[in-house]
Amino acid sequence: MSQIQAFHQQAMDLAEAATVARLRGAIEQAVQLTRQAFEQEVQAANLVASNLEAEPTRSVLHRSAASLAIECGELQAAERLISTALSGNPPPEIAEELKDLFIQINLNQYLKRQGIDLDIGALRRLVNQ
């Protein structure tokens, strides 16, 4: 197994363990496991970041690392990961997902600067009714 695959597999195992911990109510453990998953996925993404020919692996790893970064509250890291992924040649569907992540982490900040206080959770509940 390549080093990239090993880091990615560890990240996915840790993310799954975090989900289980969260379901059991062990929030602190879930937070720690998610952070460890993020760190492992960043390692995998960094190993392939300079290889623009490694698509879709390159963009998938960066998307996954960015999602974990968001979960950890590491919004600047998420932005960097998204930018790196988009600077290559990601498949269109992954590029769209990366752009969605970027909007997710920046929309609320933008709206606040415009004087609009938006509760995303309340909006989701309203839309899902």
Residue 120 has pLDDT above 70, yes or no: no
pTM of the model: 0.87
Amino acid 117: pLDDT: 81
Sequential DSSP letters for 33-86: HHHHHHHHHHHHHHHHTT-TTSTTHHHHHHHHHHHHHHHTT-HHHHHHHHHHHH
**Percent of residues, the chain, with pLDDT higher than 70:** 95
**pLDDT tens digits for range 43-97:** 999 999 999 999 999 999 999 999 999 999 999 999 999 999 999 999 999 999 9
- Residue 129 vs residue 15, higher pLDDT: 15
- Residue 113 vs residue 123, higher pLDDT: 113
